[in-house]
Structure 1
């Protein structure tokens, strides 16, 4: 190869239809700094608290990799091919690499051993044929065929194979197993990592070469805690931040998401609780109502049981339980004797304990359904707002034909923007409240939530029902007053929650 940087050669990807990873060579936003507006979702943040970030294209990801390589190479003077393996070993943390490199008092051989690479100070990495000046043939250890030395190659570990076997081995590792930075030597029990120079020398198929480059870049992004893929479908941009935090960032494609967890921006709920909530929704939402109406929990192991016969003598089918109990009172079956149909042991202590456990389980289910229904209601309403945007756009055009200026009709779009922000915030307030124990601060939060919800519904009604060209001048002031009030109440609610985070007001349930 002519240069260590040939790995980053630019190739046309237009013919690649299948998913080749998240990196694309599409032209687009080339590094202009994008700062989240003072209030990207109405969070009420001050200007000095704005979270800075940069939206990077595929080309800039490669440039960033090269920049790190060059910075470290200027210090340690190690070939790029070896240095890439070392950086990958330390998750592209150049400070950690340099710290470990100089930790061994000028004898960094251990760091190369740990990274499964041959030290360049012992042997120079090369892609040229090993021993090609020799006229004798050699046997490939994979296909057991003899070839001239010119057709054999390998790594500095000394294991050589025919180029055909090398090519097939690398293709399998890249295309089938999705490996890039950790492909080992094919020799038995050899852990030396194949460098990208060898890969690009031996792989001629364009599709495989592009896949390898994608995987290398993807691995670089995933290893770096300050980089994050945009979660929007078919978006190939990366967000780079100065420090990691639970803050909203906005991609060039328009997607606003939380940098910490990559979910849609979810203020006021924490990432940890949102993750638990989404998992619970995935597990429970479709079956919760049916479970509540048709099942009970085993009093011993709490596994959910459906009774499929008329007999009230129930035996838990769990292999580790086999508990026998009464379906009516949930007490142990043995004391019922021949009078089971009277359930004459209904008031026994064991039965009471079982009923208490059952009751707590049902209460938790009902509690989940309460918050889930309200969460889903706002989520559904938020999906309908796209239709409202279309309706408002038509109304704005009609108003302009009635001698109203473009500026005068912008209040409608602003009102819909605020409505969507309030819907999204309200949706996540129910997730936030689900995880809380009741205390005085929660009561204040629920009052703020109720006030905001009432104002949001009123604004929604104004926009969906009361906006007509005949009454526009009368309704304009009402809409403006209401969306300003909604935005104000939203900020009050969020500020109260954030203050609670700072002052440790919130008491979380152990769910």
Structure 2
């Protein structure tokens, strides 16, 4: 371990001791003031990327549809002015290059005519586009101008000069937009002609409703084609996230982002936020869990037997501290060990004993030991996922508790928000812990892994303490103590999460983590 790592963990221990002192007591007003400052930091999120970022955070911006359209116009105007072309042609050029303006400029400066042909832009300003024509027969529908009452047929041609009747062109564009969902590459109807129908021509031909759908599809391609944007995956959300983390960095960076709608997800893979595990590790883990689906179904069973009296126990809350109603034995749902041992230094509920795998001699024993190792991590992964779902049920219970506090005490609605903040923090920590087991499964066993598991254990222990406290019954005479204890625990748990995420991100930056599988 290098000197920087030693320094980090020394500071970590000092901070933990200081936080423990806060949890043990002190002036209530001072502690609550401390919670307000630290609590705001724990629950705030800078979506604009401004201000000082933490080690595990990435810069990103959330954009609504209007902001996306404004950005498109800015890029189009810039290219149109630089190349002295129409704005509609500039838009076609940018879409052809996936809105990579630097690459477009580089190619265009080398050979502008070749780039225009490749993108589908050729314009002949002397050729009228929409023209009433006499003595004309459309090569698509074979109707002629003689069939019209006026003796003239309305026709349309792009810069290529391939002319067709406007009715055929209208039907062709409507079919492309409505049935095929195409917008960026609606090309001339002439066979093998690559010219693209521009926005003004589309607007001139189709009904307003079709044009609005066409524009909406163009807006979507702006995000879909760019490596810097990703749509928020939340249902009915039309916001997009801009983040400058390339796919090459996904082996060392976890780009967790949060949309203005409140949905947190990974910019790299689009799945739910999975810090501290990187995207390639998450992909391997999900595939392994799917391959071992029968094992996963078995391990996710909701009931276990009491280790003391063998009574069947059903888990109906997020807390892992179980008390058998029959024999009153207190034990851990995850490892089935004695609960009192979780406070001692020798007990490691989160750590797998690798000796079981190393000491296995024959293939069958090795396979069994390998399965046990997988089940160790999957059991804890699945348990935190299940606990997070059960903790979400606390929202309704928390609201009732908050209402009860208002009626039985002189506390205002704002003053009882500490319960909701605590539930939010608890759920967030559950999801973080869930993915730490995914990461730990693929880490090579060394000193750095043990330090990672130490941070994991500390966060897990603090999370369980907060979960147990939130599920306790509220008594009027204990409300002041409850409020102080919950606020202190919320701050402590949030800080333990920050320590784990920041140290893991720093480890990626330093190349500290080694994997037992290539990806």
TM-score by length of 2: 0.69
Map 1:229-240 → 2, pairs under 5 A: 229-240=231-242
* Match of residue 259, structure 1, among 249, 267, 271: 267
Would the alpha carbon gap of residues 47 and 195 (structure 1) be closer, same or farther in structure 2, given more than 3 Å must change? Answer: closer
Instruction: Give the Cα–Cα distance (whole angstroms) in 1 for the partners of residues 108 and 128 of structure 2.
Output: 23
Instruction: Give the Cα–Cα distance (whole angstroms) in 1 for the partners of residues 378 and 142 of structure 2.
Output: 63
* Match of residue 378, structure 1, among 384, 399, 408: 384
Aligned residues: 401
Q: What is the CA distance between 1:364 and its match in structure 2? A: 4.5
- Contact residue 377 and residue 441 of structure 2 kept, 8 A: yes
- Once the two structures are superposed, residues 111-159 of structure 1 have per-residue CA deviations (whole angstroms, 9 ceiling, x without a partner) of 11121221x3x55675422xx4x53122x22233334663322222222
Instruction: Give the Cα–Cα distance (whole angstroms) in 1 for the partners of residues 182 and 50 of structure 2.
Output: 44
* Match of residue 112, structure 1, among 92, 109, 116: 116
Map 1:325-344 → 2, pairs under 5 A: none
State the partner residue of 1:221: 223
- Contact residue 99 and residue 226 of structure 2 kept, 8 A: yes
- Once the two structures are superposed, residues 228-258 of structure 1 have per-residue CA deviations (whole angstroms, 9 ceiling, x without a partner) of 2111110111223466674333322111223
Instruction: Give the Cα–Cα distance (whole angstroms) in 2 for the partners of residues 38 and 46 of structure 1.
Output: 14
Instruction: Give the Cα–Cα distance (whole angstroms) in 1 for the partners of residues 110 and 78 of structure 2.
Output: 19
Instruction: Give the Cα–Cα distance (whole angstroms) in 1 for the partners of residues 245 and 478 of structure 2.
Output: 50
Would the alpha carbon gap of residues 203 and 410 (structure 1) be closer, same or farther in structure 2, given more than 3 Å must change? Answer: closer
Map 1:194-213 → 2, pairs under 5 A: 194-204=197-207, 206-213=208-215
State the partner residue of 1:74: 81
TM-score by length of 1: 0.70
Instruction: Give the Cα–Cα distance (whole angstroms) in 2 for the partners of residues 482 and 384 of structure 1.
Output: 19
- Once the two structures are superposed, residues 30-72 of structure 1 have per-residue CA deviations (whole angstroms, 9 ceiling, x without a partner) of xxxxxxx8555899x9952265543322222222211211122
Instruction: Give the Cα–Cα distance (whole angstroms) in 1 for the partners of residues 513 and 84 of structure 2.
Output: 53
Q: What is the CA distance between 1:508 and its match in structure 2? A: 1.0
Q: What is the CA distance between 1:404 and its match in structure 2? A: 3.6
1:137 and 2:143 are equivalent in the alignment: no
| Unaligned segments of structure 2, at least 5 residues | 1-39, 147-151, 247-252, 300-360
- Once the two structures are superposed, residues 305-349 of structure 1 have per-residue CA deviations (whole angstroms, 9 ceiling, x without a partner) of xxxxxxxxxxxxxxxxxxxxxxxxxxxxxxxxxxxxxxxxxxxxx
State the partner residue of 1:150: 153
Between stretches 423-432 and 412-421, larger displacement belongs to 412-421
1:417 and 2:420 are equivalent in the alignment: no
3-state DSSP class of the match of 1:71? helix
State the partner residue of 2:353: none
State the partner residue of 1:294: none
Would the alpha carbon gap of residues 440 and 235 (structure 1) be closer, same or farther in structure 2, given more than 3 Å must change? Answer: same
| Unaligned segments of structure 1, at least 5 residues | 1-36, 292-354
Instruction: Give the Cα–Cα distance (whole angstroms) in 2 for the partners of residues 177 and 495 of structure 1.
Output: 46
- Contact residue 289 and residue 296 of structure 2 kept, 8 A: no
Map 1:53-132 → 2, pairs under 5 A: 53-104=60-111, 108-118=112-122, 120=123, 122-123=124-125, 127-129=129-131, 132=132
State the partner residue of 1:443: 450
Would the alpha carbon gap of residues 208 and 363 (structure 1) be closer, same or farther in structure 2, given more than 3 Å must change? Answer: farther
Tell me which protein shows more helix as a share of its residues.
2
Would the alpha carbon gap of residues 447 and 200 (structure 1) be closer, same or farther in structure 2, given more than 3 Å must change? Answer: same
3-state DSSP class of the match of 1:151? strand
- Contact residue 419 and residue 456 of structure 1 kept, 8 A: yes
- Contact residue 452 and residue 486 of structure 1 kept, 8 A: yes
- Contact residue 187 and residue 195 of structure 2 kept, 8 A: yes
- Contact residue 183 and residue 214 of structure 2 kept, 8 A: yes
Q: What is the CA distance between 1:270 and its match in structure 2? A: 0.8
Would the alpha carbon gap of residues 279 and 186 (structure 1) be closer, same or farther in structure 2, given more than 3 Å must change? Answer: farther
State the partner residue of 2:258: 250
Map 1:396-415 → 2, pairs under 5 A: 396-406=402-412, 408-415=415-422
Would the alpha carbon gap of residues 495 and 64 (structure 1) be closer, same or farther in structure 2, given more than 3 Å must change? Answer: closer
